[in-house]
Structure 1
Amino acid sequence: MKDQFMIYKLSETIKSTSKIDTELFEKFNVKRGLRNSDHTGVLVGLTNIGDVVGYERLDDGTLKPIPGKLLYRGIDIDDLVHSAQNEKRTGFEEVIYLLLSGNLPDQDELSHFSRMLCESMALEKQTKIAIIELEGQDIMNILARTVLEMYTYDPAPDDTSRDNLMRQSIDLVAKFPAIIAYAYNILRHSAKEQSLHIRHPNADVSIAENFLYMIKGSKGYTDLDVRVLDLAMIIHAEHGGGNNSTFTVRVTSSTGTDTYSSIAAGIGSLKGPLHGGANLQVGKMIHHLKEVISDWTDVKEIDAYLARILNKEVYDEKGLIYGIGHAVYTISDPRAVLLKEMAKELAKEKGREQEFTFMTLLEERAIHAITHRKNAKTKKQVCANVDFYSGFVYDMIGLPKEVYTPLFAMSRIVGWCAHRIEELNFDDRRIIRPAYKNISEPVPFISLNER
């Protein structure tokens, strides 16, 4: 057993050695969190893949909030989603093709591509064994370790040619749903002592339906469940190069490392509660609010409790209303708008309309509470972000909480691969290497016998 006293003694030094006066960031013009003083992101690269729009910059340099837009290869995500919905088909496969290639597929190309993805979904024996050996662990960690394991069985793991990058990308996109479903079923069996069900993916259904089938069985979901999950995967597939996990993939890719190491790094980033784990935070908060608020329609009661949350008096005492606010979006998050549309339809099917009404009222009152809060450091306009409704939607579909964040990874792997391909195909490639300013003073060395 490790010496607990020594660990404590060393950890106590962190109080002083990690302390940095926040005023020094402004003094040395350091862009903390890679954010400018007006909360916009620091430009560190160029991309053709995704665009996240929440404001426009006026001639005088000020920012004007506008309804949010998310563009995939220049195409509005609203058009991609509503086209698939109007034609009563799933659209995630079309989005994968678009993000990886830069072009929309025609009908034959989409059909061939979709079948190729499904045929690539089944896991190799050695991958299954690796997952079984990791039973009972966090699924995001299993996903990362399984991705690293895939390096061993790749015939050309370090080849960064375009053909090989595309082959690896398609294989990863196809296998993520099966890895996550397999890992969950093993977890369900080992940790919850429930029956073990291993279902092989079907070759003639969408990725969304395959995932639901592998998690819940053929009778465990409806057509609407499939369409809503497909929508969730579309809107999570890409979010520009500046989000933390995609930037992590680009940073690691810029070194020339292999695909599996880079994607595993992205998974580690996404796992964080401030990134991909945020929908779980929202879910916990909503569950708490359902219990403590006696009348879900009483605006005064809701306002009073939200004010107490912001004042760090109740709930987790961090002063945050989870699911409200975004680094870029101001008036609206287009992903939240789309998900809210489907959440309403899904709530009707599941008999949970009262909860949906409560969610929409919470959204309205939380925005009001944050916007009108006295002594707020900033009066930036805020809106509900995608996490506000995603957990509620997953719960209505009947997905276990253990797969919420992995599901995000199952979608975002598309954007990660697209950005890795782009990073490795610039004409003038450079390793991404930011700088940190050291603020410590020189310290003279003291020999061991004089300390």
Structure 2
Amino acid sequence: MMPSYISGANITDLCGRLADNTAIDPKLYEKYHVKRGLRNSDGTGVMAGITNICNVHGYVINEGEREPIPGQLIYRGYNVNDLVSNVEEDDRYGYEETAFLLLFGHLPNEKELKTFSSYISVKRDLPNGFVEDMILKAPSKNIMNKLARSVLALYSYDDECENKGLENEMRTAVSLIAKMPVIMANAYQVKRRVFDNQSMIMHPINYEENTAQCILSLLRPDRKYTKDEAQMLDRLLMLQAEHGGGNNSTFTCRVLTSSGTDPYSAYSSAICSLKGPRHGGANLQVIHMLDDFKEHIKNWEDEGEVADYMRKTIRKETNDHSGLIYGMGHAVYTISDPRAVILKKKAFELAKGKDIEAEFRLLETIERLTPEVFLEMKGSTKTMCANVDMYSGLVYRMLGIPDELFTPLFAVARMAGWAAHRMEEILTGGRIIRPAYKAIAKEKEYIKLSERE
């Protein structure tokens, strides 16, 4: 029980005083040349490191001015469009190949890919007693919290947990790539039973399945899925596997890695970062926004009606009253987000002729109208495109994946990228990441306890 002297009205008063004592004049950021959010005035990120892993490219600087270009996402020198198109041409799955590329820096040959994929399959098993002790006995309403806690807890089951050698780091990384889907599925089933009063169904692992197949197999009561469904999920995993060193969760992973901490701590922190609605949780915000639009717009095909409701949303009169059109805009991409372009095309192919096709068309209308509505209402001429979150949530729904697993699936995919950046930080970092903060508090004379008001 909270002591009476810091409860009720007192805690409200104390927090109010804290807010007053913490307030910072926004003008001071400009005065002291502080880059809020590690962002430059034009929205670009402050250069904080060098990486060989990924290039997120959405504009060029021409004679000092930022010029938009179609977005590019490059994994280890390979355009993600080429990675996806070649996998599709061969009619196969690509996430394991993508993970190998990110981790080891080159495309695997057939033998390497087969060995790597097999190793992931056999590493899916969780330690004896882990599900009972770490998941069943401590259920969580939010699967991201359970993922983070479970990854951190795996430290206790690893005899080499403090071995910082590169080979052991790689062993740990691949093991976590393998185990994340299983942890996620188990945590979801326990959440269903404890918090949703539904049946809990836990399937044994099928070691013949790849990552996308494994996820669908573990989540569906009858374990059945089509090849098209599994390949659609596989493509989404490929697109979400990596996105540069500056995104919040990857940078978090690199910051912790630079301190010399163990891999489980670093990866757990990345999961906690990804949970935030300003980062990995954005796809769920898009879905909530879409549900709100569906409820309040009578004719989804009427662009005028859709635009009118968008104006209400921007005026903070609808949805979550944030004034945001979720899924639109990106820190780097301007004309297009290559992930959204690929995902949208594949999603429409799979949705064609189904009831959910109308929802995709509504999202497409929102995407098309957003720039002109923002121009009309805010005078903003900023080039704006849909980001991957605009369509990823609805793709998950089309695959029958529950809303509460949208962000955890993002974490499952991004584990490969986090691991690649941790390895790079270990091999090339050399210094603890330690930016500076400008202190503005003035020195005060100490007041004796008996003299305080």
Structure-1-length-normalised TM-score: 0.97
Distance 1:320 1:396 in 2: 24
Q: What residue number does 1:246 align with?
A: 250
Superposed counterparts of 1:55-204, under 5 Å = 55-58=59-62, 60-129=63-132, 130-204=134-208
Look up the SS of the partner of 2:24 in the other structure: coil
1:21 offset after TM fit, Å?
Answer: 1.0
Look up the SS of the partner of 1:431 in the other structure: coil
Distance 1:38 1:320 in 2: 20
Q: What residue number does 1:329 align with?
A: 333
1:374 offset after TM fit, Å?
Answer: 4.2
Equivalent of 2:427 in 409, 414, 425: 425
Look up the SS of the partner of 1:13 in the other structure: helix
Structure 1 spans left out of the alignment, 5+ residues = none
Change (3 A) 1:27 1:124: same
1:408 offset after TM fit, Å?
Answer: 0.5
Amino acid in the other structure paired with 2:155: Y
Distance 2:139 2:312 in 1: 41
Tell me, yes or no, if the aligned pair for 2:216 and 2:223 is still in contact at 8 Å: no
Tell me, yes or no, if the aligned pair for 1:245 and 1:269 is still in contact at 8 Å: yes
Tell me, yes or no, if the aligned pair for 1:118 and 1:204 is still in contact at 8 Å: yes
1:82 offset after TM fit, Å?
Answer: 1.0
Structure-2-length-normalised TM-score: 0.96
Deviates more, 1:292-301 or 1:253-262: 292-301
Tell me, yes or no, if the aligned pair for 1:367 and 1:384 is still in contact at 8 Å: no
Amino acid in the other structure paired with 2:98: V
Q: What residue number does 1:384 align with?
A: 386
Change (3 A) 1:349 1:184: farther
Look up the SS of the partner of 1:66 in the other structure: strand
Distance 1:390 1:342 in 2: 11
Amino acid in the other structure paired with 1:25: Y
Q: What residue number does 1:315 align with?
A: 319
Tell me, yes or no, if the aligned pair for 2:316 and 2:323 is still in contact at 8 Å: yes
Distance 1:415 1:126 in 2: 29
Look up the SS of the partner of 1:128 in the other structure: helix
- Report the count of equivalent residues: 447
1:303 aligns with 2:304: no
1:23 aligns with 2:44: no
Distance 1:217 1:106 in 2: 36
Distance 2:207 2:216 in 1: 14
Look up the SS of the partner of 1:193 in the other structure: coil
Amino acid in the other structure paired with 2:295: E
Distance 1:259 1:136 in 2: 23
Distance 2:393 2:167 in 1: 37
Distance 2:139 2:356 in 1: 34
Change (3 A) 1:137 1:219: closer
Distance 2:129 2:53 in 1: 34
Structure 2 spans left out of the alignment, 5+ residues = none
Q: What residue number does 1:434 align with?
A: 435
Equivalent of 1:373 in 376, 388, 392: 376
Amino acid in the other structure paired with 1:63: R
Look up the SS of the partner of 2:129 in the other structure: helix
Deviates more, 1:174-183 or 1:120-129: 120-129
1:218 offset after TM fit, Å?
Answer: 4.6
Change (3 A) 1:119 1:350: farther
Amino acid in the other structure paired with 2:312: R
1:330 offset after TM fit, Å?
Answer: 0.3
Superposed CA offset, 1:6-46 (max 9, x none): 32222111221221111111111100011001111000000
Tell me, yes or no, if the aligned pair for 2:56 and 2:73 is still in contact at 8 Å: yes
Amino acid in the other structure paired with 2:126: L
User: How big is the alpha-carbon RMSD for the aligned residues of Structure 1 and Structure 2?
Assistant: 1.3
1:287 offset after TM fit, Å?
Answer: 0.4
Distance 1:375 1:214 in 2: 46
Distance 2:168 2:438 in 1: 39
Identity %: 45
Superposed CA offset, 1:279-328 (max 9, x none): 11110000000111111111111111111211223222221101100000
Superposed CA offset, 1:408-446 (max 9, x none): 1001111101100110111x6000000000112221111
Equivalent of 1:48 in 52, 63, 85: 52
Tell me, yes or no, if the aligned pair for 1:165 and 1:421 is still in contact at 8 Å: yes
